[in-house]
Amino acid sequence: MRTKTRSGKLFIHAGRADGQWFWKCDTSSDELDGHYFLYATYYDLVADTDEEKQRVRDVVTAITDHLIDHGYQLVDWDGQPTRWARFGPDLMNHDPDWADERGLNSLSMLSYLKTAWHMTQDGKYQKAYEDLINNHSYLMNMLVPKVNAGPGTGNQSDDEMAFMSFYNLIKYEENPKLRASYAGAMYRYFLIERPEKNRLFNYIYAAVCEGEKYPGPWGGADLSASREVLEEAADTLVRIPLDRIMWPHKNSHRLDIVPMAPHTQFDTHPNRGHLRNGYVIPVDERTFEFWNHDPWNLDYRNDGRVLADGEAFLLPYYMGLYHKFLAEE
């Protein structure tokens, strides 16, 4: 990372005499999920030449090899694993302190390996992928990546990470049985997320689960997104304010608000709620910043001094166009 400033998470990389390059330490699994998601999208849809595709392959190869060589962990400048980028079987399967991360991190690691295989066709990534599934139960682990108690619970960043990982994993998996299992896991996750009317999540689900069948014991059920799911995503896109300044909002006084149930309030701000139909407050009636913003929060103490970017609109908008969920007039 090249920058003129330095913060608590940036350190000058040893050996850089010019002092212009900095090392961003404690990189999280959040960043890996986002990078793999967008590397794959760029590789498939943007990179036009072999040289350009090779540059993406080189980056993905370097990151994935690092993870494999370090026991499925991202190791920092000091030789120690970063706080959250830890995906190895010992922690995922045998450490109770990591039980909450077990499903999501197993999903992420399978997605990284499948993405690397898609770009490189290198058998070592498929071998590692199959080893984690067959010998370390990563398929069973990722079938329940969200362990929280219903809509509005848990960490919205984890939700974003899961959907980005599902997108690559299901899209690139060629084994129909595995793909159906992944789609079934995503379907169960999407049932929890649908009340948020999140345009990115809705479009990701619709894109990769089209035509998939739920692999349950009572026979297959069609997992394709309904028309209502697509309409909810489009409605949110239409409502996103063009004014991206973060203004204060207060909704806790509204008569149409139902407070969140106590069992959903673990490790979250208590001032949360939803409309009487179970859905979150529309995006143009509350503060909205990123895809992983908590839409269940009722009051926001912003001061109008932060300008949010437009990417939170642009990515789902162009995804909707690409997958033909939207049409430009």
Is position 271 within any domain? no
Is position 15 within any domain? no
> How sure is the predictor about 154, in pLDDT bands with cuts at 50, 70 and 90?
confident
Task: Using the predicted structure, report yes or no on whether residue 6 has a pLDDT greater than 60.
Answer: no
Is position 305 within any domain? no
Task: Using the predicted structure, report yes or no on whether residue 200 has a pLDDT greater than 90.
Answer: yes
Percent of the chain with pLDDT over 90: 71
Is position 229 within any domain? yes
What's the mean pLDDT in 26-49?
A: 95
- pLDDT tens digits, 207-218: 999 999 987 777
Write down the residue that tokens 């030789």 correspond to. Answer: 79
Q: How far is Cα 210 from Cα 120, in angstroms, rounded to an integer? A: 26
Higher pLDDT: 8 or 53? It is 53
Higher pLDDT: 155 or 267? It is 155
Which residues does residue 75 pair with via DSSP β-bridges, in sequence order? 81
Higher pLDDT: 216 or 173? It is 173
pLDDT at 5: 47
> How sure is the predictor about 148, in pLDDT bands with cuts at 50, 70 and 90?
confident
Is position 129 within any domain? yes
Residue 2 burial by Cβ neighbours in a 10 Å radius (0-12, 13-18, 19+): exposed
Q: Supply 255's token pair.
A: 């008569």
CA dihedral 184, 187, 189, 192 (to 10 degrees): -150
> How sure is the predictor about 21, in pLDDT bands with cuts at 50, 70 and 90?
low
Q: How far is Cα 256 from Cα 92, in angstroms, rounded to an integer? A: 42
pLDDT at 126: 99
CA dihedral 84, 209, 291, 61 (to 10 degrees): 40
- 0.85 cut: is pTM over it? yes
Angle CA(30)–CA(312)–CA(182) in degrees, nearest 5? 50
Of 4-13, 216-225, 242-251, which has the strongest mean pLDDT?
A: 242-251
Is position 212 within any domain? yes
**Mean of the per-residue pLDDT values of the chain:** 90
Q: Residue 202: give the domain boundaries.
A: 28-241+311-322
Is position 100 within any domain? yes
> How sure is the predictor about 77, in pLDDT bands with cuts at 50, 70 and 90?
confident
Question: How many helices, marked H, and strands, marked E, lie in the chain?
Answer: 11, 8
Q: Supply 324's token pair.
A: 């033909």
> How sure is the predictor about 4, in pLDDT bands with cuts at 50, 70 and 90?
very low
> How sure is the predictor about 16, in pLDDT bands with cuts at 50, 70 and 90?
low
Task: Count structural domains, the chain.
Answer: 1
Percent of the chain with pLDDT over 70: 91
Task: Using the predicted structure, report yes or no on whether residue 201 has a pLDDT greater than 80.
Answer: yes
The DSSP 8-state label assigned to residue 214 in this structure reads -
Is position 257 within any domain? no
